[in-house]
Amino acid sequence: MSNRDPKRYYAILGVSFDAEAAEIKAAYRRRAKELHPDRNRAPDAAAQFRLLNEAYEALNDPASRALYDTAALEAAKASPAPGQKPPEPVVCSCCGKVTAQPRYAIFFTVTSFLVVTRRSPTQGIFCSACAEKKACRASAITWLFGWWGFPWGPIYSVGAIIANMLGGKQPPEVNARLTAYQAWYFASIGNMDVARAVAMDAADLARKAPSNSAGAELRTSIDELLQVIGGSAKRLKNSWRLLSRPFYVQAAVLAAVAVGGWQAYERMPVSQPPRGPKPYVATAPTSNPAPAPKRAAYVRPAMAPNGTPWPFSAGYVRGYSLLNNDGRSSVTVDNSQNDSDVFVKLVSLDGARAYPVRLFYIPAGRSFTVEDVRQGTYDVRYQNLSSGALSRSEQFSLTETRNYQGIEYSTLTLTLYKVRNGNMQTYALAEDEF
């Protein structure tokens, strides 16, 4: 096709017709430094700089570049005079071949790094074979490098991969003019059957163009072209149909990644709460507990685990022994900032196994103090009776020190907050450790 650069925009920027968006941007920055009136003292520097900006605005935006690249197609409106050489055909911008079904297509490549995400168009007039290569290349780069920016990397990558899989962005008005020009070329060389089939493709594309004056004019001109060509012809097999090889290739990659991701997710180990500092038994070491039954879906228990009713107010649960009760220290568990009742165990960490020494109940908005506790190392484990969630405090020590005034002992307060941000670090707890 002649006059690929009607306003010399590509020449002004110094790039080729198939230049990538990044090349156009780099060329503009380089030329802007050379032509800026503050640095270039040539008499026409200001005019050249304005032309440079005009060229960049036309070629930097994918939609305006598509219109510029096909601006010369208006020449298809007039029939060549007798003896005049026929118009040059539209050729693929990659392989240079003449095709009966050229399309202007835009494919997108996404690259990301941390908070930086770039979405770059690759566009031009392609045959279906070269478009397949461009689409697969753009999608492959996006699969490898598009996901690593937050938050736009995954969003842009999904959009680009789907767009490329569906054949890229194909502006219908631009492609209707492009196909109509190609139909006129085939008519001018006497290949009327192909000319009419291509013109029928152009009519189909024109029906997808916007319903404005330009779209109406385009549809009218293509109808006139069909009348001039006349005759009848079979429709061409659509090499750009959706369910073609490019679609299946990219869909297969997408499916393989999805299946692989799901299998990897299935193989991931289930996250478990951190274990306590020592092996744990649910009762004191002197008892002989039966294995605990498996728990069904959580329902708030009406009674304590030993079958006795919960206390009416904060206090020990009846039926459990009060162990380690020969000391002077005290532990206050403050549940005043929580909107759920809790079942609490003070657990001794002295010895080979951890075990509970006091078991008590605290209603929402209340506190309870465990007194006369022997010195040693402990933690507090509790169950939120509304949700069933289990938690464990960090371990702490209670001490008794004799001095000239008597015995100093520990007085500790542990605050339970709904969001687990009290005065001690707390952890999620496994059922077998409660």
DSSP 95-149: T--B-SS-EEEEEEEEEEEBTEEEEEEEEEEE-HHHHHHHHHHHHHHHHHHSSSB
207 in a structural domain: yes
Count structural domains, the chain: 4
CA-based nearest residue to 20, from 136, 106, 102 = 106
111: left (phi over 0), alpha (psi -120 to 50) or beta: beta
User: Based on the domain organization, do 221 and 148 belong to the same domain?
Assistant: no
User: Based on the domain organization, do 252 and 200 belong to the same domain?
Assistant: no
User: Based on the domain organization, do 83 and 180 belong to the same domain?
Assistant: yes
- Provide the CATH number for the domain around residue 350: 2.60.40.1120
User: Based on the domain organization, do 345 and 424 belong to the same domain?
Assistant: yes
User: Based on the domain organization, do 350 and 428 belong to the same domain?
Assistant: yes
Count the neighbouring beta carbons within 10 Å of the beta carbon of residue 36. Answer: 14
User: Based on the domain organization, do 256 and 156 belong to the same domain?
Assistant: yes
297 in a structural domain: no
Q: Is the pLDDT score of 80 beyond 60?
A: no
pLDDT digits (tens, 9 = 90+) for 266-322: 776 665 666 777 777 777 665 555 565 665 788 999 999 999 999 999 999 999 999
pLDDT digits (tens, 9 = 90+) for 213-263: 888 888 888 888 888 887 776 788 888 877 666 677 777 777 777 677 677
User: Based on the domain organization, do 82 and 158 belong to the same domain?
Assistant: no
**pLDDT at 94 (0 to 100):** 87
DSSP 190-233: T-HHHHHHHHHHHHHHHTTS-SSHHHHHHHHHHHHHHHHH-S--
| Residues in contact with 268: Cβ distance below 8 Å, sequence separation at least 6, in sequence order | none
Question: In DSSP terms, which residues pair with 348 in a beta bridge?
Answer: 355, 378
405 in a structural domain: yes
User: Based on the domain organization, do 36 and 177 belong to the same domain?
Assistant: no
CA-based nearest residue to 313, from 359, 361, 346 = 361
70 in a structural domain: no
User: Based on the domain organization, do 158 and 176 belong to the same domain?
Assistant: no
49 in a structural domain: yes
94 in a structural domain: no
Q: What is the mean pLDDT of residues 121-127?
A: 91
The parent domain of residue 191 ranges over: 75-87+171-229
Percent of the chain's residues with pLDDT above 70: 86
Mean pLDDT, the chain, whole residue set: 84
Q: How many CA atoms lie within 13 A of 386 on its CB side?
A: 8
User: Based on the domain organization, do 140 and 259 belong to the same domain?
Assistant: yes
User: Based on the domain organization, do 116 and 256 belong to the same domain?
Assistant: yes
Q: Are strands 411-417 and 329-337 parallel, antiparallel or unpaired?
A: parallel
Backbone angles phi, psi at 236, to 5 degrees: -75, 145
**pLDDT at 83 (0 to 100):** 56
pTM equals 0.56
